[in-house]
Copies of this chain bind each other. A is one copy, B any other.
Amino acid sequence: MKYIAGIDVGGMTVKIGLFDGEGTLLEKWAIPTRTDGGGEQILPDTADSLREHLEKAGASLSDLTGAGIGVPGAVMRDGTVNRCVNLGWGVFSLTEALSSLLCGIPVFAGNDANVAALGEQWKGGGKGCRSIVMVTLGTGVGGGVVIDGNILIGAHGAAGEIGHIQMREDEPETCGCGKHGCLEQYASARGIARVTKLYLKEHPEKESSLRSADHISARVLFDEAKKGDATALEIVEIVCGYLGRGLAAVAEVVDPEAFVIGGGVSNAGTILTDTIQKYYVQSVFHASRGTKFVLAELGNDAGIYGAARLVLNG
């Protein structure tokens, strides 16, 4: 039997999936990410863990036909990583380094957000679509563009950085990237909490169940909106307005078949996708009004699926 490994390196854990040659997930597990010492143990740890699991299945590393790996940083077309700050990594050939630990098998690498987008296009919310844009609403706003089943990398590894589309020129606060008015400042989990607090402060006359919450978060906002709190619903409209207009700009460029919305914020469910879509349809060029909005389906497994798909894409 031949195997494919799908690896998703995060700042806390390395998720590993073992797939058969057709891309069916056989087994998945995670190991801690050891970031000390410049993260030099991460790849050997991963290879050791793969070897152990293969041996338990009565196989060995030589039964792997390929491995895919997603990492939190820019990955160039030739498999070179260009600094993964969270892992302590500098610049080196990720594909060569991992391949040499895995008996020289072909290794394919990508940025984690892009690889997760590929996973969702293949087996998740975007299944059946040739081209999707995945939008990950988490700590930041991440993005991944998949065209005809392949990740769009970009000339500087920066395709899909849609969280940094500038939505407002008059934003006084600074984004983590140093710019002002990025989509991420309004639509990430942190951005949504910020917008919510600001709205409550600027509208002291508005009553809201949000005012009695211990802690304002994106989750609390959507929970109160779903319970019918009028002020929370107004804030949801504001946040989704930014997303709808931002994704309309994305559609003017790549015109995807679907937007797949993932990340922690997407646990809010269809109130999120429906409201984003409402503003999208108002803003987008008429030809692209029919674009689908779907929720991501693979959760934390999107990365290992996408990594395996990198191998199948060859």
Contacts and interface: CB of A to CB of B under 8 A. Distances in A.
Interface residues of A, number: 45
A161 interface: yes
B249 A166 contact: yes
The prevalent SS among residues of A at the interface is loop
A269 interface: no
A257 B155 contact: yes
Report how many copies the assembly holds. 2
A220 interface: no
Given A147-B152, A154-B254, A179-B285, 7 more contacts: A155-B288, A156-B291, A157-B255, A158-B255, A162-B253, A164-B252, A177-B285
Contacts of A262: none
25 contacts: A129-B155, A131-B154, A133-B253, A143-B253, A145-B253, A152-B254, A154-B254, A154-B255, A154-B288, A155-B255, A155-B257, A155-B291, A156-B255, A158-B251, A158-B285, A159-B253, A160-B252, A164-B285, A165-B249, A165-B253, A166-B245, A177-B286, A179-B283, A250-B253, A253-B253
Interface of A: 74, 129-131, 133, 143, 145, 147, 152-162, 164-166, 169, 177-179, 245, 248-257, 283-288, 290-291
A287 B156 contact: yes
A162 B288 CA distance: 12
A129 B283 CA distance: 32
A187 to B, nearest CB: 14
Contact of A156 (B147, B162, B165, B290): B290
Contacts of A288: 154-156, 158, 161
Q: Which 9 A-B pairs have the closest CB atoms?
A: A154-B255, A158-B287, A155-B257, A159-B255, A164-B285, A158-B255, A253-B253, A156-B287, A161-B285
A150 to B, nearest CB: 9
A143 B251 CA distance: 13
Given A130-B155, A155-B130, A166-B248, A287 B74 contact: yes
A32 to B, nearest CB: 29
Given A147-B147, A166-B283, A159 B249 contact: no
Contacts of A245: 166, 169
